[in-house]
Structure formats: structure tokens, C-alpha cells
């Protein structure tokens, strides 16, 4: 029994090194899930780009085909910039919500955040991205 337990511990340790990131999914009832998914997409952007460039440089047809698929899945420069803007707009909101969840006793304990124009900026960014479709 003890041997089985140590083997399982070794496997989970191995998985931690091969799969360090959990899969994130968007949950309609939690705005922050979208925020975290967008952050993860940007976090993985450069790695995905390196992989598809490497695959496209391989001589075999199968690698090139996989590289082309991955290239199509990667964000365009405009999409990447849009996500960066949206994340920067949502960061203060996420910070405040996390502080509230940590049982802040009074509103005075919250940091001051300039929210002037955030809704207009979000609306403008969304309309701009829709115009480009």
C-alpha cells in the first residue's frame, strides 16, 4: 500500500512539471473567469507563436500542416492589443473584488481607483473590435 502511495506521489509531481497550467474556462456567471482566460491567452501567446514558427520550419509536411493550424489559432496583433486593453481596464475591478472577498470591513479600506470613463472605454474598444470584423 505504501509503495502505491509513493508511486502516485511521483506521478503527480511529474504531471506538475509537464502540465504546470490548469485549463481555464469561461463561466457566464463569473466575469472574472473571462478576465483570467484572457490573461492566460496572453501568457501563452509567445509560446504558441514559437511552436508554430518551429513547426513551419520543419521539412516534413505533417509538421508544416500542424504549424499552419496553430498559426490560425494564434491571436492577430489587433486581437492581442484588444485583450491587453481589456485586461488593463479590468485589473482595478478584479483587485477591488478580491479585496472585498478578503472581508474588508469598511469602504475606506479600499484603495482609490479612478473609474472615470471606464465604461466608455470598454464600449469603445468593443465597438472598435466589431468594426474590424
Read off the pLDDT band of 97 (50, 70, 90).
Answer: confident
pLDDT of residue 7: 40
Tens-digit pLDDT profile for residues 10-62 = 444 443 444 567 767 777 767 788 888 889 989 889 898 999 999 999 999 99
Task: Give 109's pLDDT tier (boundaries 50, 70, 90).
Answer: low
Task: Quote the CA–CA distance of 30 and 33 in Å, as a whole number.
Answer: 6
Mapped onto helix, strand or coil, the DSSP state of residue 25 is: coil
Claim: this prediction has a pTM higher than 0.85:
no
If you write DSSP's letter for every residue of 76-119 in order, what string do you get? PHHHHHHHHHHHHHHHHHHHHHHHHHTT---GGGSPP---TTHH
Average pLDDT, the chain: 76
Q: What is the mean pLDDT of residues 85-113?
A: 76
**Residue 100 binned pLDDT confidence (cut-offs 50, 70, 90):** confident
Which pLDDT belongs to residue 96? 83
Contact call for residues 97 and 32 (beta carbons, < 8 A): yes
User: Quick one: pLDDT at residue 66?
Assistant: 93
In the predicted structure, residue 4 carries a pLDDT above the cut 50? no
pLDDT band at 104 (very low <50, low <70, confident <90, very high): low
Phi, psi (deg, nearest 5) at residue 73: -80, -25
Cβ contacts of 81-87, under 8 Å, gap ≥ 24 = 82/125, 82/128, 82/129, 83/38, 83/41, 83/42, 84/42, 85/121, 85/125, 86/38, 86/122, 86/125, 87/35, 87/38, 87/39, 87/42
Amino acid at each position: 500500500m505504501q509503495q502505491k502511495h509513493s508511486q502516485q506521489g511521483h506521478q503527480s509531481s511529474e504531471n506538475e512539471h509537464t502540465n504546470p497550467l490548469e485549463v481555464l474556462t469561461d463561466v457566464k456567471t463569473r466575469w472574472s473567469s473571462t478576465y483570467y482566460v484572457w490573461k492566460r491567452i496572453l501568457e501563452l501567446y509567445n509560446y504558441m507563436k514559437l511552436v508554430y514558427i518551429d513547426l513551419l520550419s520543419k521539412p516534413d509536411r505533417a509538421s508544416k500542416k500542424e504549424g499552419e493550424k496553430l498559426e490560425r489559432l494564434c491571436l492577430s496583433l489587433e486581437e492581442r492589443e484588444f485583450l491587453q486593453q481589456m485586461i488593463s481596464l479590468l485589473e482595478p475591478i478584479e483587485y477591488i473584488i478580491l479585496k472585498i472577498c478578503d472581508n474588508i470591513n469598511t469602504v475606506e479600506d479600499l484603495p482609490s481607483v479612478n473609474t472615470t470613463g471606464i465604461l466608455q472605454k470598454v464600449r469603445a474598444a468593443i465597438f472598435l473590435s466589431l468594426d474590424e470584423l
